[in-house]
Amino acid sequence: MIWNETIETMSREELKNLQSERLVSLARYVYEHCPLYKKKFDDTGVLPSDIKGIEDITKLPFTNKLDMRDSYPFGLFSRPRTDLVELHVSSGTTGNPTLVGYTRDDIRLWGEVMARALCCAGAERDDTIQIAYGYGLFTGGLGFHYGAMEMGLTIIPTSSGQTKRQLKIMQDFQPRILACTPSYALYMAEEAKEIGLDPRLASWKIGVFGAEPWSESMRGEIEQAWDMLATDIYGLSEIIGPGVSQECQYKDGLHLFSDVFYPEIIDPETGHPVPEGQDGELVITTLTKQGIPLIRYRTRDIVSMTYEPCRCGRTSPRTSKIKGRTDDMIVVRGINVFPSQIEHVLLGIEGTHPHYQIVIDRQAHKLDQVEIMVEVDEAIFSDEIKRMHALEQTIKKEIEAVLSIGVTVRLVEPKTIARSEGKAKRVIDKRQM
Ligand code: DLL
């Protein structure tokens, strides 16, 4: 089933006309409503009247995460706070978090693209969905919620965690759709086996997994463990949350809803477009958003993209799975982590040195483990164990407060961590992805 057949199967020519029309109004809208964009346009020497169609998009300036952070909280908004009905905050980065806000129409748009995504994954109107993404400031839980509401599914909003309860609810209510991070899906399979439940007999037959990178081999493991179809969903808070792109049953790229989120793939160094099919940074313009529309937002996610039509009948461009990032952000259990956040914490704790390493590991079917090795003053090692332990706990607590994920901390003597001549190797990612 295709949720919005008119839009999702439009010819490329019609789609281009729609995108053009929308970009022309968007350029005018942000110029008139957002002083920061007016300044960016003026600095670039471009006027809204210069934008006559989608091909003119390259005349417009890029927007990046720094623009969002520097304008925190409301500087990049095109609507007054009173028009916003919901706010979300994205994890990651030091200093100000990234704030996004939605008008009532933006929430409707979110519901629409998420309904398209759920249908694309194979959901049917009479399905039940268990939403085991976190509800709250993270966009996962509520984004799925709005889409499932729009489609009229029966929603079980379990949010994340409490795995035994998740499994009991699945057994009792028999939902066919599961939405959570791919690592949580694997973890739940292991927990199921531990309590004597055969995951292959579970009611979940379609998974909508995203918010973190995952590989084809991980897909294989999940599909095998649960006997289900595991599909990939992509999105980011700045653009809308989940619902930017989604795989269909053919799992041959993620359909990007380009009538509302216009994609460009650029060379991250030069900013110029790369030829179709080549890897580059995904840049998105939100063509119809009102609260905080973004022009040419640099996602920092690396993908390739094709306009070849798909067997499912959708004509939208498709991207590859996310192949990496242009910055040092890592995603652990769906949460964005920047090494600089950890550095910032360590700087404020006496006795620690600015040499640290983050080791991420995923033991078979367990949630990702994060260990932080920190070099500390020699003297600490000759002190009582109690003092060392206290320092370890202080570092652990402060890092956990900033990252919102559990970590273990290991204190090591000075010069234990290998020095590098170039960029310090802060992250050792042992997960097989
Ligand atoms: O992770 C939104 C989301 C929720 C997507 C639920 C899918 C499902 P943020 O917390 O702002 O938003 O993180 C966005 O996470 O730029 C990617 O680097 C990464 N990411 C999201 N989905 C995928 C995916 C949500 N399917 C950042 N594969 C993005 C790889 C992903 N990375």
Over residues 241-263, mean pLDDT: 98
283-300: average pLDDT? 98
How is residue 54 annotated by DSSP? Answer: G
Closest C-alpha to ligand 1, atom 4: 140
Q: Is the CB of 301 under 6 A from ligand 1?
A: yes
Boundary of a domain, candidates 302, 326, 350: 326
The CATH number given to whatever domain includes residue 377 is 3.30.300.30
By CB atoms closer than 10 A (0-12, 13-18, 19+), residue 233 is buried
- Rounded Cα gap, residues 234 and 238, in angstroms: 12
Same domain, 298 and 374: no
Ligand 1 centroid distance, CA of 182 (Å)? 11
Residue 401 burial class via C-beta count within 10 angstroms: exposed 0-12, middle 13-18, buried 19 and up: exposed
Rounded to the nearest integer, the mean pLDDT of the chain is: 93
Pair 393, 250 in one domain: no
Is residue 345 domain-shared with residue 312, that is, in the same domain? no
Q: Could you give the percent of the chain with pLDDT greater than 70? A: 97
Closest C-alpha to ligand 1, atom 13: 236
**The pLDDT value given to residue 62:** 98
Question: What is the distance in A from the centroid of ligand 1 to the CA of 366?
Answer: 20
Residue with CA nearest ligand 1 atom 27: 236
| CA nearest to 295, candidates 10, 18, 39 | 39
Q: Report pLDDT for 420.
A: 66
For the segment 293-321, what is each residue's pLDDT rounded down to a tens digit? 999 999 999 999 999 999 999 999 999 99
Helix (H, G, I), strand (E, B), or coil: what is residue 324? strand
- Choice from 212, 239, 323 to test ligand 1 binding pocket (greatest atom count within 8 A of CB): 212
**More confident site: 256 or 97:** 256
pLDDT at 95: 64
Give the model's pLDDT for residue 94: 59
Whole-number Å distance, alpha carbon 269 to ligand 1 midpoint, is 23
Check residue 225 and give its pLDDT.
95
Is the same domain home to 192 and 294? yes
Asked if residues 205 and 178 have their Cβ atoms less than 8 Å apart, the reply is: no
Nearest Cα to 368, choosing from 330, 412, 316, 342? 330
- How far is 256 from 244, CA to CA, in rounded Å? 6
For residue 396, the Cα-to-chain-centroid distance in whole angstroms is: 25
SS3 429: strand
Its pTM surpasses 0.95? no
Confidence bin at 161 (pLDDT 50/70/90): very high
pLDDT for 426 beyond 70: yes
Domain that holds residue 371: 330-429
**140 in contact with ligand 1, CB cutoff 6 A:** yes
Q: Say if residues 238 and 294 touch (Cβ distance below 8 Å).
A: yes
Q: What's the pLDDT score for residue 80? A: 97
Band (pLDDT 50/70/90 cuts) for residue 421 is low
Q: Looking at the CA of residue 254, tell me the nearest atom of ligand 1.
A: 26
For a pocket test of ligand 1, which of 236, 254, 338 has the largest count of ligand atoms closer than 8 A to its C-beta?
236
Domain count, the chain: 2
pLDDT band (50, 70, 90) for residue 383: confident
Give per-residue pLDDT as tens, 48-95: 999 999 999 999 999 999 999 899 999 999 999 999 999 999 866 556
Q: Are residues 235 and 265 in the same domain?
A: yes
Cβ partners under 8 Å of residue 175, min gap 6 = 127, 128, 129, 130, 154, 156, 203, 204
Query: Last residue of a domain, which of 266, 299, 326?
Result: 326
92 lines ligand 1 (CB under 6 A): no
Q: pLDDT value at position 396? A: 96
Q: How much is the pLDDT for 235?
A: 97
- DSSP H or E stretch at residue 301: strand 297-303
Among the candidates 326, 347, 367, a domain finishes at 326
Nearest to 205 by CA among 141, 134, 312, 127: 127
Q: What is the pLDDT of residue 92?
A: 61
Identify whether residues 254 and 353 lie together within a single domain. no
**Residue 422 — very low, low, confident or very high, per pLDDT cuts 50/70/90?**
low
Q: Name the residue at shortest CA distance from atom 12 of ligand 1.
A: 236
Distance, CA of 151 to CA of 107 (rounded, Å) = 14
* Whether residues 258 and 346 fall in one domain: no
Q: Is the CB of 212 inside a 6 Å radius of any atom of ligand 1?
A: yes
Residue 328: per-residue pLDDT: 83
Q: How far is the CA of 411 from the centre of ligand 1 (A)?
A: 32
Ligand 1 centre to CA of 221 (Å) is: 21
Residues 262 and 345 in one domain: no
- Out of 82-86, 220-224, 227-231, 401-405, least confident range: 401-405
* Helix (DSSP H) and strand (DSSP E) numbers for the chain: 12, 21
How far is Cα 307 from Cα 144, in angstroms, rounded to an integer? Answer: 26
Tens-place pLDDT, residues 111-151: 999 999 999 999 999 999 999 999 999 999 999 999 999 99
